[in-house]
Amino acid sequence: MAFIDIIAAKKSGKALTEAQIDEFARAAADPGTPDYQLAALLMAIRINGMDARETAQLTLAMAKTGDMLSPEVGGVPVDKHSTGGVGDTTTLILAPLVAACGGKVVKMSGRGLGHTGGTVDKLESIPGFRTELPEAEFLRIAREVGCCVVGQSGELAPADKRLYALRDVTSTVDSIPLIASSIMSKKLAGGAQGIVLDVKVGSGALMKTLEDCLALARAMTDIGRRAGRRMAALITGMDEPLGSHVGNALEVKEAIDTLAGRSQGPLLAVSLALGAQMLLLGGVAKDEPGARGLLEAALREGRGLERLRRMIEAQGGDGRVCDDTGLLPQAEKATPVLAPQSGYLARMDTEQAGLAAQALGAGRLTKDDVIDPAAGYILFKRVGDYLREGEPVAELRHAAKAPSGEAARMLRDSLRFSDTPPHIPPLIRARIAPDGKETQ
């Protein structure tokens, strides 16, 4: 089957056959297939879409290009996936908290994509931390510690690993079929039996509207249930960075501060909501109030932070960062960003704010770029706060040669002010429960 014929079919708006989709997945996993052919088909899919059958078939085909794990971890293996955002460090908080409550978290995460941060990049800012582990070691740590977070291995959904990198540099990130099949192929291959989806909505999300987010959540939960997995989804807001720290080492610091009880706010709230769903799907708790109670006790008693330390050390990292975050990479320079006018911070173009961190070196412009783990910024204000002109709204952290002036301009330009307090929508906009029931 000629690959160019598959490109031509989708370019013309035709639904691909099962054989064509299987060939697409096979070709993506084959290093001999040129990037430009895969990129052409990705763009055709982005423009013309895929129906539910095509999306489900692509998901299974990509999963089957590599190993399919059946984790034996002493309990129900659970996982969580976020569609990406800015300052979204929930994995580093909820994974150890869930483990401290008796859950078993087996998680494969990705690197930064577009303006969003990647969990693997964040973890690799911890000195010595290994995100590439043999399967046996990955499962042993999940069994003994209760949580293990690694990068996607070459043996698991290799077709997706290549397509994921290409989507970042071909402007094909924001496609529901490509997002759903990418996420769920890794989850099916990874063997988690309970999967919680955090689908972001707002100016900093891949999907900007609630309607699109629900369509994506429905597509992914449908794929998972067809494969025999327990599924739940939350639609959560990304109209401003979820945490106050944006950048890899900075976000690790905020996760540690949160687990140590030094930081609260939206980041913790979303982490607890997602963690509760993981405990429900894993059979650790019978209802949501009970699940939240378990998580809050683990947080209050410091067991979540201790579990993070154990995971870091088990994966070769320096666990002392849990006591001294100064051991994380530190930037050469700190540059304040001042409010350009007085008024209430009414809203933020969060995608622009994410690109400001990327400009400092916290993210990638091409798949081969090397990131600066110390780069990023700390926000001092959130939407709804009142600022006076010239008051610090953030502080950039960066290398001496980084374009800090450009990043400061981008961050300032992302801010919108008003004379009256703005309406602040709820963090959780909608839910798809394990039984499939939707609420908004």
| Catalytic hit among 79, 88, 121, 160 | 160
| Catalytic hit among 111, 115, 186, 309 | 186
User: Phi-psi category of 85—alpha, beta or left, where left has phi over 0 and alpha has psi -120 to 50?
Assistant: beta
| 153 given a catalytic annotation | no
| 167 given a catalytic annotation | yes
Exposure class string for 164-178: b at 16+ Cβ within 10 A, else e: bbbbbbbebbebbbb
| 160 given a catalytic annotation | yes
| Catalytic hit among 182, 244, 404, 414 | 182
| 125 given a catalytic annotation | no
Residues 435 and 440: their CA atoms lie apart, in Å, by 15
| Catalytic hit among 64, 81, 104, 310 | 81
Residues 359 and 24: their CA atoms lie apart, in Å, by 34
- Report how far apart, in Å, the C-alpha atoms of 238 and of each of 125, 206, 270, 375 are: 24, 10, 11, 21
| 186 given a catalytic annotation | yes
- Structure-block tokens of residue 436: 């499939």
Residues recognised as catalytic: 81, 160, 167, 182, 186
